[in-house]
Amino acid sequence: MNPDTELAPAVQSILAAARERAGGEGVVDVDARSLADALADAEADGRVPLIAEVKPTSPTAEGTRDDDPVELARAMVAGGAAAISVLTEPSHFGGSPEALTRIREAVDVPVLRKDFIVDESGMDLVEADLLLLIVRFVDDLEALVAAARERGFQPLVEVHDRDELETALEAGADLIGVNNRDLATLEVDLETVESVAPNVPEDVTLIAESGVSSPGDVRRMREADADALLVGSAIMGHGGDSDVTENTRRLVRAESMDAADLATASATTTAHDGDSQT
């Protein structure tokens, strides 16, 4: 792993907290819902394959959304989300493993556990269909990918540049998330996906993560060859009470819109920016 000194202070604090947290007791055995099937169903249905994220807050959010996580997840599925991502990190994102369990019981789409897993025992805290592993934060990625699969999880391996992509591919990842947010600076740049995507092999599922806020951004990521998108803030609308179903639908329909719809949706996005954030 790269040294912590290169990371934004908020990220260092998140990692320190992750290393302190207790893992699970025993080893989980998950009967996972297939992400590949869920993405294919969305495509067949004319929806942009979108993983919508229940993220009550974040170090870069301007507020907290403290609605019931189950209601938020249901609203996202009603808006056409192919899968749900749930932050389980408690001290910086307002998440909890219990919220994930409740959500997974309430919806029938695959559920991704979003957390900062640093060792095997961290995986055993709660069952989920997918588990995030961040290349930058783990020492032995190959061992963690194998450990995740042994438990039945579909590991989603997060990278930010071509070197990390190489590491992920060497570790056998077949589900790769390219994070547009740089964890060293917390800055978002959609060019990240555009520059890494050409090196992702065809048989690997590529997920564009972070910073997608408008139907135009969705199209841009799809044009860069993203198989699916992971969107949190633009759907959650932190600090406000915008309609999560509508926020989801607007992005899921980005490829079926005509020019007039697109102009209206972009205007809505702009109006939105006042009380939301990225």
Ligand X SMILES: O=P(O)(O)OC[C@@H](O)[C@@H](O)c1c[nH]c2ccccc12
Report the catalytic residues: 53, 55, 114, 158, 179, 209-210
Smallest distance from the beta carbon of 181 to ligand X, in angstroms?
6
Minimum CB distance to ligand X smaller for 11 or for 171 = 11
Smallest distance from the beta carbon of 55 to ligand X, in angstroms?
5
Alpha-carbon gap, residue 38 to 34, rounded angstroms: 6
Query: What is the helix (H) or strand (E) element at residue 111, kind and residue range?
Result: strand 111-114
CA 186, 187, 190 angle in degrees (round to 5)?
130
Residue numbers at the binding site for ligand X (CB under 6 A): 53, 55, 114, 134, 158, 179, 209-212, 230-234, 278
Residues 6+ apart with CB under 8 A from 168: 135, 141, 157, 159, 176
Minimum CB distance to ligand X smaller for 259 or for 277 = 277
Minimum CB distance to ligand X smaller for 155 or for 232 = 232
Smallest distance from the beta carbon of 107 to ligand X, in angstroms?
18
Q: How far apart are the first and last CA of the chain?
A: 27
154 touches 175 (CB < 8 A)? yes
Minimum CB distance to ligand X smaller for 72 or for 230 = 230
Smallest distance from the beta carbon of 138 to ligand X, in angstroms?
12
193 touches 179 (CB < 8 A)? no
Q: Which residue is nearest to ligand X (CB)?
A: 232
196 touches 162 (CB < 8 A)? yes
